[in-house]
């Protein structure tokens, strides 16, 4: 195990409007506000999104299993912001619900707001963690 300690910095509250790209907006805020490390919460609605719901098998490198939202869903979840080279890398896991169906996974692509989505971003000061490509898994992982 490796770890670092930090402290809360600024708190940013954002509202994403209907049809806005969730992942792009989070990255844009991190760039504009120079958030080098942070945690965020999302609550609201999404109409589109591609999520990874686990690997095919418990092997490394993992082969992801993809699911699409494809219609409006309620969403709640937690994510982190750490940089990979010169870009913020957003990592978000959430629960996505529609009627009596629940999907849970890692949002990776095609993220589009339905009606409104609220984000609360808490900057973490004093952390030097970054994301780097892990050659074994093929994923961009947190490096301390």
For the chain, give every domain's residue range: 7-143
Torsion, Cα 93 131 87 22, to 10 degrees, reads 0
pLDDT tens across the length of the chain (144 residues): 999 999 999 999 999 999 999 999 999 999 999 999 999 999 999 999 999 999 999 999 999 999 999 899 999 999 999 999 999 999 999 999 999 999 999 999 889 999 999 999 999 999 999 999 999 999 999 999
Q: What's the CATH number of domain 7-143, 3.90.550.10, 3.40.50.300, 3.30.1330.80, 2.40.340.10?
A: 3.30.1330.80
DSSP code, position 61: S
Q: Cβ atoms within 10 A of the Cβ of 133, count? A: 12
Q: DSSP for 69-84? A: --S-EEEEEEEEEEEE
């Amino acid at each position: 195990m490796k770890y670092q300690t930090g402290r809360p910095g600024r708190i940013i509250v954002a509202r994403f409007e209907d049809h806005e790209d969730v992942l792009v907006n989070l990255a844009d805020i991190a760039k504009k506000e120079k958030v080098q490390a942070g945690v965020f919460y999302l609550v609201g609605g999404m109409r589109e999104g591609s999520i990874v719901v686990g690997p095919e098998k418990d092997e490394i490198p993992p082969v992801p299993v993809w699911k699409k939202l494809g219609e409006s869903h309620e969403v709640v979840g937690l994510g982190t912001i750490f940089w990979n080279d010169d870009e913020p890398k957003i990592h978000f896991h959430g629960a996505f619900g529609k009627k009596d169906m629940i999907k849970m996974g890692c949002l990776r692509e095609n993220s589009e707001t339905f009606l409104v989505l609220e984000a609360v971003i808490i900057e973490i000061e004093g952390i030097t963690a970054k994301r780097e490509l892990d050659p074994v898994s093929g994923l961009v992982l947190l490096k301390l």
